Every structure is written in structure tokens, then in C-alpha cells.
Structure 1
Amino acid sequence: MSDGDSTMSEAADAVEEASNAKALDVVARSGFAVVALLHVIVGAIAVAVAFGQPGQAEATGAIEQLAANPWGPAVMWSCLIACTGLALWQLSEATLRARHLPRKERLAKLVSSGFLALAYGSVGLSFAGFAVGLRADSSRTTRDFSAALLGAPFGLWVLIALGLTIMGVGIYFVAKGLRRGFKDELFHFDGSHRGKLIDALGLTGHVAKGIALNLTGLLFVIAAGKQNADESTGLDGSLKALREHPFGPSLLVAIGAGFICYGIFALVRARFGRM
């Protein structure tokens, strides 16, 4: 190893050690708790939408519910810090801690944790927007984003790629739930009543979230295929579209209940997860 490589390795080790700081661990666990709360609220909104009630069944709608309480601004800034810490922790998982893994596992970790880092970072930005008074309709924002892509060179293919990527993440969540891959993230409770409950929550929650992501990604692909940005409405639009189909309300209730299960699982992850 050259002196330059040795210096780079030592620097990476130092940054990795800093990422293991107790403070980041606490903030990241708080971020999991925020994610848990958002999923529970989104699930509850989805169930309400199934019965014809108004609401945005996605993260922005959940954040709007939290911002409406008297302590809204303080809650927004606290959640921003928590989500930022969680995004940084996921980023360190994707890069620093993955350095020692075999190449195939390192690439898988880069994709999965890297996507989560972006997702949690975007949620943090949503909290920041609400904290400073910037609020937007998520479906309209998604349509505007899709329209901008469709109007740009190669934007059609970028939109297709985005939709397929989201669907790929959805398939990953379904597979992770079915093969109980989430157990690796927790201290084990096998054999106990609590362990069986956590297993059921993890399975149901991951599969429901995976289905919802597949629906969201599919709408991006449909929007690209029809070259119509109005077809792309994000998670909220994809769930509301179910309401218009036979058995749609029942499926929407099931997905909403699944999101609530995922939220409870994420809360367990915040407390008992391996970091």
C-alpha cells in the first residue's frame, strides 16, 4: 500500500470512528422514532381516505398533521435534526462501514443504505420547509417534477429509470419482509411472545410498504409511457387511485394498516435496533 493509500485509509478509519459517536447514535435512533410516527400517521390517513375522508396519504400529509399542533415549529426543527442524523448514519453505513464487506455485499449496501440516506434527507428537508412556513401539495409537486423531466432532453428515460428504481426498492421491501431480513437489524426476541409480535409487524409492514412503493413507481413509468405528467402523483395519488377500483378501498385499508405496522416496527427498531 502506498503512502497516499495508507493516509486515505487512516482518514477513513478516523471518520468511521467519529460516526460511531454516541451522540450520532442517539440522534439516529430519534430519526427512526420520527420515521415510525410518520408511517403510523400515513397509515391512519390512508385508512381514512379509504372511507372517503380528505387527507394526503404520504409524508408531507403526516408532517402537516404534526405541524398543526401548538408546538409545531419546535417539533419541526427537532424532527429535522433527527432525520438529518439518521440520513448521516445511513450514509456512513453505505460508505464507511461497507468498506470491509465483500464487493457484492458492499455494492448492495451502497444502493440500499444510500437510497435510505436520500429518503431520510428529503424527509428532513420537508420538515425544514414546514418549519419556515413553506408548504406544498405533494401530488402537485410530483407532477411538476415529472413535467420538468418530460420537457428536458432524455428526461423521458430518466423518468422511466426513476419509476423502475422506486419499483425495485418496493420489490426489495417485499422480499425483505417475506424472508424476514429485518431480523438482522434487531436484537433477537426469537421464541418469545414479543418476538412473534415483532416478526408479524416486520413482515406485514415491509410487504405493505413495498406494495405502496411499487404503485408509486408504476405511476412514474405510466406517466413516461403516456408522456403525461398528470399520471404521476406520488404515493398519495397512487393510494387514492386504488379507491376507484373494485376492492380498492379494502386494499387501501390493508395498506394503511400495514403502514401502521411498519411504523410500530420502526419504533421497536429505534429502541432495540443494532447500530
Structure 2
Amino acid sequence: MRFGSINVAEEKSGIEAAIGDAVDTAEAASNSSVLDVVARSGFAVMAVLHIVIGAIAVALVLGAPGQAEPTGAIEQLAANPWGPAVMWAACIACAGLALWQLSEATLRGRHLPRREQLGKLISSGFLAIAYGSVGLSFAGFGLGQRGDSGESTRDFSTALVQSPFGVPALVGLGLTIMGIGVYFIVKGFGKKFKEELQHFEGTRRGKLISVLGVTGHVSKGLALILTGLLFVIAAATNNPDSSTGLDGSLKALRGHPFGPYLLLAIGAGFIAYGVFALVRARFGRM
């Protein structure tokens, strides 16, 4: 019986060693220069999307049509002779960025202290899903499909409200989005984004990047708070039609006395965030 126990223990140890070797191999692959380049390209794609969304938001103040959200920005990028090629290239870049974030959440996150592992799993895991969904949107446009995120958000909210625990879930979703918005604002004012960049302190370039980072993060945070607030209002009033995502939250500002000025500021802030993200794509720590 004792020899049997030893054999079982040795077999278990061998399996654990094999799994460990496989995980180490996967981590080494995730640190490859190829994935680094593709992930940086994904950051650049997200940067361009923010710039286009900001430009659309500014144009809304002037009465121009458009959707100030990712789908609307992708539609603008698709409306050129090289549209299909751009869509598939952006899809690959976003998929690479999602894969890199997933490796951050799992493979590299396992080396962190236990208390930090859960936070890394949640933050990088959420980003992996977000970037992956943007990549799917690019793929949809590459296949000739068009979508309206505002309509999709309304349909999602309607289905959620009609479920047994829909209203609390919708409130929770709205509060989560608002919490992410607060995180961006704190990150912006606290200049914590500097941890993601290579050293630029003490230079004119560093001061400009700092201004762009603060302005961009705070503006994006405000936009997310408005978006989350619409989900909470939709749940409180039992009116899912009022939850229209980022585009709807920004367009709702136009009906308020100082709304156009705030919309203009948020649009300019998104452009600033996009420029900052371009710097992050080139000089960010990976």
C-alpha cells in the first residue's frame, strides 16, 4: 500500500511539473516580440478610435450627424477605398492586444503577490474582453455587416430588465461602469498613467504627455460616468430605451443649458486621450 501511495504521489508530482512547464512555455510565447508588436498595434488602433470618437463628439455640437461610440468610429474608418483591409488589420491588432491582456491576467499575473492577483485578473481580464469585442466589431465591418451599438445596448437592457433579477443587475452594471469612470478620473488627476510609460520626466515632451494624460483620462472618466448613469436611470424608471450607451449619453447633453460646452470638452478630451494612447502604443511598458 505504501508503494502504491508513493507511485500516486510521484505521478501527481509529474503531472504538476508538466503543467508548470506548459505554463512557463506559454508565458515565454506571450513575451515574444511578435505579440509585442501586434499588441502595440492594438493600442494604436484603440488610440485612433478615441480620436475619431472625440472628433464625432465635437461635430455633434455643430449639428453634424454621427455616432460618438466605437461602432460609429469604426464606420468612419471603413468608409474609404482601403476599408476592408483596414478592418481586418485592426481586427488582428485588437485580437493580439486582447491576447496580451489575457496573458497579463493569467500567465504573468501568477507571479504577483496573492492580494494583487485577483485585481490583475479582474482589470486585465475585463480589458481582454473589451478589446476582443472591438476586434469582433472590426471583423463584422470587414464582412460587410453594420451595427448600431446604441440599439444593441437598448436591446440588451430590455432583455436584462425582463429577467427575474434584471433591475438589480442593470443597476449593478451602471454602478460598475460609473466606478470605472471614477477610476479613470482618479488615475488622471493622480497621474498614475505615468507608470505605463517609459521615463519622460523633466522634458517638454514629458510635460505635454502629462497634460494629454490628465485631460484624456478625466474626460473618458466623465463619459463613462454618464454612460453608467443612464443604465441606473433605465433601471430606476423601468425604461430600457433610455440606456443608449456612450453615444446616447453624449447626445443627451445637447438638451441641457451647458451641455454643448461639456460635450465639446469631452470630445476634445477624447482626442487628447487618443493622442496619449498613441504615445502609449509607441513608448509604453509591455
Instruction: Please classify the TM superposition score into its range, dividing by the shorter chain length.
Output: over 0.9
**CA separation in 2, counterparts of 1:200 and 1:104?**
32
Higher Rg: 2
Cα distance, 1:25 vs. partner? 0.5
2: CA distance, partners of 1:204 / 1:178: 9
TM-score for the superposition, normalised by structure 1: 0.97
- The answer to whether the Cα contact below 8 Å between 1:51 and 1:249 also exists between their aligned partners in 2 is no
Does residue 249 (structure 1) correspond to residue 260 (structure 2)? The answer is yes
Asked whether the 8 Å contact 1:28–1:85 carries over to 2, the reply is: yes
Q: Which residue of 2 aligns with 1:260?
A: 271
Q: Deviations over 1:35-84 (max 9, x none)?
A: 01000000000011112211100110100001110111111000000000
Aligned to 1:6: 17
Residue 212 (structure 2) aligned to one of 198, 201, 204? 201
Question: Is 2:164 the partner of 1:153?
Answer: yes
One-letter amino acid of the counterpart of residue 140, structure 2: G
Instruction: Return 257-266 or 98-107, whichever deviates more.
Output: 98-107
Structure 1 residue 12 displacement after superposition: 1.7
Separation of aligned partners in 2, 1:165 and 1:137: 23
Aligned equivalents of 2:20, 2:174: Cα separation in 1: 37
1:26-175 map, 5 Å: 26-175=37-186
Q: Which amino acid aligns with 2:22?
A: A
Aligned partners of 1:74 and 1:66: how far apart in 2? 11
1:220 corresponds to 2:231: yes
CA distance in 2, matches of 1:157, 1:17: 42
Give CA deviations for 1:246-269 in whole Å, capped at 9, x if unaligned: 111000010001000000011001
d(CA) in 2 for partners of 1:201, 1:105: 28
Of 126-135 and 230-239, more deviation after overlay is shown by 126-135
Distance in 2 of aligned mates of 1:121 and 1:203: 26
SS of 2:163's partner is coil
Could you tell me which amino acid in structure 1 is paired with residue 122 of structure 2?
Answer: V
3-state SS, counterpart of residue 243 of structure 1: helix
- Match of 1:190, SS state, is coil
**Structure 2 counterpart of 1:13, which letter?**
D
Output the CA distance in 1 between the equivalents of 2:90 and 2:259.
33
- TM-score, length basis structure 2: 0.93
Give the distance between the partners of 1:189 and 1:273, measured in 2 at CA.
Answer: 11
The equivalent residue for 1:240 is 251
Task: Give the Å deviation of 1:226.
Answer: 1.2
Aligned-residue offset at 1:103? 2.2
Query: How many positions carry a matched residue from both structures?
Result: 275
Q: How many percent of aligned residue pairs carry the same amino acid? A: 70
What RMSD, in angstroms, separates the aligned Cα atoms of the two structures? 1.3
